[in-house]
Amino acid sequence: MGQNPYATILSCSDSRVSPEFCFDEQRGDLFVARVAGNYLTTDFVATLEYAAVVLHTPLIMVLGHQACGAVRAAINAVDNHEQFPGHIQSIASALAPAVRAAKNMPGDRFDNVVRMNVIRTVEKLRKQPPVLSKLVAERKLMVAGGVYNLTTGKVDQVA
């Protein structure tokens, strides 16, 4: 049995946020890469490139979510200089730019950081050389972002 996903999802690894359930899709419909905090690393860029080039998915969706623990850790690291054990600190450090970027935004700070993290990741993916930026420029790939609401079960597009 092959796969023919119509979209690639970069999602948080939170157990409450399974992209197949968020979008009411079946096995084989989505190509999913998951990491706490849905942020980019070289390995995730390579995974997303694979989906775009080999599987020909025309869409990458960066999916953040309400009440993200990785975002909470990043806020605590930036605001309270909290340090986390082992490699957990690397997640907080990777999300710190979103925390700083959302600092003066009106509204709920936590929700703003979740959205800003998605927006920043979408922007990075659209400009990611050499593969993704070329596909975006050629209009063969769309990169979008959304935030999953745990209460309503809906995804709100933010980028």
The model carries a pTM of 0.95
Interval 11-36: pLDDT, tens = 999 999 999 999 999 889 999 999 99
Q: In this structure, is residue 2 part of a structural domain? A: no
Q: In this structure, is residue 152 part of a structural domain? A: yes
Q: Which domain, by its residues, includes 27?
A: 7-157
The average confidence (pLDDT) of the chain is 96
Strands laid side by side in the 30-34 sheet: 30-34, 7-11, 59-65, 142-148, 155-157
Is a pLDDT exceeding 80 seen at residue 159?
A: yes
Quote the number of domains for the chain: 1
Q: In this structure, is residue 90 part of a structural domain? A: yes
Six-digit token string for 131: 């593969």
CATH of the domain at 14: 3.40.1050.10
